Every structure is written in C-alpha cells, then in structure tokens.
C-alpha cells in the first residue's frame, strides 16, 4: 500500500492494488477462520509467539520484488502448509480442520496466481528486473524451506503441493527449481548439524 499508483518503476498499477485489496479481504477472513480453528484445536491466541520473519521477507524497495517475495514465495509456502494440514485433517478424521484448510488453500492458489500473472506482466519488457525478482523469490523460498522442513519426501513435515502450484501459475521448471532449493536447504542443515556434532562433513550427505 505504500507504493504510489502509476506505471513507473517505483509505482504500482491500479489493478494490481485492486488485487491486493481483494487479497487483504481474503486474509481477514483467514484470521477469522484461524481464530475459530484455534479454539477447536484446544489452544488460544498467544500460546505461540509470533516472529517478524514473514514481514522481513516481504520488505524490498522494489514493488515487483516485494510482490514476488510475498505472493509467490510466502503465499506459495501457505499453499504447501494448508494442503498438508488439509491432508492431516482428512487422515485424522477431523472434518473441521480439513474444511478450514481447504477453504484457505483455495484462496492461496488465487493469491499466488495473481503474483505469477503480475510478475510476468510488469517485467515483460524488463528481463533483468524479472531475474532480480525471481532471485529474491528464490532467497525467500530457501529461507522458508526451514532446513528441510519443507520438501517432497515423506520425511518432510510440509510437502510441496505441485498440483496447486501449477494451478497458481508455476511452470514445471519453476517447481523443479523449488524442489532443488528445498533439497539444498536440507543438505545445508544436515551439514551444520554434522559440524556441530564434530562429525566429518561427508556425514551430512
């Protein structure tokens, strides 16, 4: 919201801001759903501390990079989380959890699709800016892979939702790259653990 409306490099087109307004409405509904879901799960707001990592990852002086970091990286993470939680609700026979996560998942697919579409529209004639935006997205994706917490293997608690990412405008090449980013984050985490334990570096592979 802190970018002026316009077509300049440091401005945001009106219809982009309109899409972001719609997203804000969706997110406010997610808050309402999550508050009720919190009560259903037997916990309460404040039990788990909030951090500033999400906000920090969304900060960039270029509106296109900020759009890419939020709508393709962070909202892409939300797709993976909500899809995994929906499957968990189904597995455990909790229809309330399953329905809530499914509802929010549908919104997140739309949010990521808006990010994919606007990224390509705004950088159609500026390949260097598009590359910078995708590099920023890659950095955010690496950060929020949490050292292998997210991936495509059974041992990863959060699974990459490839089908929904395709619906959200990710190409197969971009999905493959995301898998590689997650695998790299996992390998780096293993290497750090091995180093901390005084083990040879090869033990982390």
Mean pLDDT to the nearest integer, 64-84: 95
Distances (CA, A) of 74 to 16, 53, 78, 113, 140: 18, 11, 6, 13, 8
Domain that holds residue 182: 14-204
Residue 193 lies in a domain: yes
Nearest to 135 by CA among 72, 187, 194: 72
Residue 4 lies in a domain: no
Q: Give the rounded distance of the alpha carbon of 17 from its chain centre.
A: 20
pLDDT at position 198 is 80
What are the pLDDT digits (tens) for 136-155?
999 999 988 888 889 888 88
Instruction: Please state the pTM of the whole predicted model.
Output: 0.88
Domain count, the chain: 1
pLDDT at position 115 is 96
Residue 188 lies in a domain: yes
Query: What CATH code is carried by the domain that includes residue 130?
Result: 1.20.1260
Residue 19 lies in a domain: yes
Residue 9 lies in a domain: no
pLDDT at position 153 is 82
What are the pLDDT digits (tens) for 150-200?
988 888 899 999 999 999 999 999 999 999 999 898 888 888 888 888 876
What does 34-65 look like in DSSP terms, one character per residue? Answer: HHHHHHHTT--TTSS---SHHHHHT--SSHHH
Q: Is the pLDDT of residue 204 over 90?
A: no
């Amino acid at each position: 919201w802190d970018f002026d409306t316009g077509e300049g490099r440091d401005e945001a087109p009106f219809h982009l801001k309109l899409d972001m307004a719609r997203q804000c409405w969706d997110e406010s509904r997610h808050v309402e759903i999550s508050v009720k879901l919190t009560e259903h799960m037997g916990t309460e707001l404040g039990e788990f501390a909030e951090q500033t990592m999400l906000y920090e990852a969304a900060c960039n002086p270029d509106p296109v990079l900020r759009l890419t970091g939020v709508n393709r990286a962070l909202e892409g993470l939300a797709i993976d989380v909500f899809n995994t939680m929906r499957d968990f609700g189904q597995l455990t026979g909790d229809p309330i959890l399953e329905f809530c996560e499914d509802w929010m998942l549908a919104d997140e697919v739309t949010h990521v699709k808006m990010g994919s579409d606007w990224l390509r529209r705004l950088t159609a004639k500026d390949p260097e800016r598009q590359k910078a935006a995708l590099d920023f997205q890659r950095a955010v994706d690496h950060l929020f892979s949490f050292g292998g917490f997210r991936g495509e293997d059974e041992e990863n608690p959060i699974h990459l939702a490839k089908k929904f990412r395709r619906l959200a405008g990710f190409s197969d090449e971009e999905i493959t790259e995301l898998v590689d980013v997650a695998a790299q984050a996992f390998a780096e985490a293993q290497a750090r653990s091995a180093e901390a334990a005084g083990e040879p570096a090869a033990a982390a592979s």
